[in-house]
Amino acid sequence: MRLLSLFTSQAAVNSALIATTLFVSSTSAQDRTTEQGEAQITDPNQECTPYYYQPVSAAIAANEFPPIWTVATIVSSDTNAQAKYQSIQSQIPNIPPKGTQPASLMGDFSNFTPTYPSSDPDCWWTFDQCTTPKLAGLPPDLAVVPEPDTLGYGFDDGPNCSHNVFYNFLSQNNQKATMFYIGSNVMDWPLEAQRALADGHEICVHTWSHRYMTALTNDEVFAEFYYTMESIKLVTGVTPTCWRPPFGDVDDRVRAIAHALGLRTIIWKYDSNDWRAGTGNVTSANVDQNYEDLITRAQNGTFATAGTIMLTHELNNFTMSEAVKFYAQLKAAFKYIVPMGVATNQTQPYVETTYSLPSFEQYISGTTTISSGVPLPTDGSSSSTGSGSSSGSSSSGTSSGSSSTGTASRASSDGLGMLAAGAAFVGFAMKLLA
């Protein structure tokens, strides 16, 4: 059972702060009002300097969203959210929250698991990694991908303020991935969120505040989904139809609420444990070994009849560096590396029909991009604070169809730039430690 929290130790924060001092901030003027301009910045200190972005500021001023980095609740003046929540009441099963808050928000279910039935009636992933719901009418979680010798590629916890060097790497390799975005990070770094769509990645929900979802009340679960979907819509123009539970913590009650909101549940089969490096007894060598074990399985034919999904993160410099470090080996071991939507032929990944993903056959034939996105909100000026990180990756071939705005001209960066991405971790960790 996974009961570890995302919250980072002070030692890790100190390390990141030390690493950040190795780099000198650029003083040249940069465009902090458009996705294209923001994507040109590769100095992490400048990337992670808060900027003003009008659509977000206006929404915050109008009290349209809950406070960031707190457990989401339905905004009292939000009649649309209230009406939507009321409309799905009949679809929510009578399953109580797991554990007792606030301990359960951090994954401490010690006062609950001793009395929880061993038969796991709620299909609680944290209890026994159940992925086939026991409640009628709910689809199975996506834990593996159906295509043989295929890796469903994605990254949690974005968008990170200093992701440009990593995104440049993905663009240079014509890789697309599924980005699981935290709503609070989207509000903090809206232009960074826009880059995922501009580069042709798939965006999914990773909740508003990244808490253990089964610990939340029904209205909190709803709000964590609803306002993340709304934040992504606000800054990118599209509404996701997929989500991944933080820490994998999901049961049939949470699935039912997600399903009622049109969200597919995506889990994983293998865990890189990249996010745990430096905590407990987990070392960077352990993470390397997890990657290598997956590569060995692929080489040995483990995925000859169906592909798989490995959990990886864009949380900090280390997790992104690991993705870069093992990319070539993964590409050699797997026949295809694709986003989750492509692997499952979800060619309409968003509620809006103005954006399409290629089918699996199109993608592996070289058409990695079908749509270049929808019109994005123009700046105006809106406040953005905080940090997170973003990443993606997928498949071989050359893209065809509409090209992503601003991607081809983005400058590449050297290894020092990649190391500098650690600055993103500082803001994110400090925020979580607060």
- Catalytic residue list: 156, 313
What's phi and psi for 30, nearest 5 deg?
-130, 155
Cα dist from 217 to 5, 220, 359, whole Å: 19, 5, 37
Tokens of 70: 């707190």
Cα dist from 211 to 307, 382, 390, whole Å: 29, 26, 19
- Report whether 165 contacts 417 (CB < 8 A): yes
| Calpha distance 376→70 (Å, rounded) | 27
How far the first Cα of the chain sits from its last, in Å, is 26
- Report whether 340 contacts 370 (CB < 8 A): no
- Report whether 203 contacts 232 (CB < 8 A): yes
Angle at 386 between CA 380 and CA 388, to 5 degrees: 110
| Calpha distance 363→341 (Å, rounded) | 11
Rg (CA), the chain: 20
DSSP lists the bridge partners of residue 337 as 151
User: Mapped to the 3 state alphabet, what secondary structure does 346-399 carry?
Assistant: CCCCECCCCCCCCCHHHHHCCCCCCCCCCCCCCCCCCCECCCCCCCCCCCCCCC
- 10 Å CB burial of residue 28 (0-12, 13-18, 19+) is exposed
250: nearest Cα among 350, 135, 338, 160 = 135
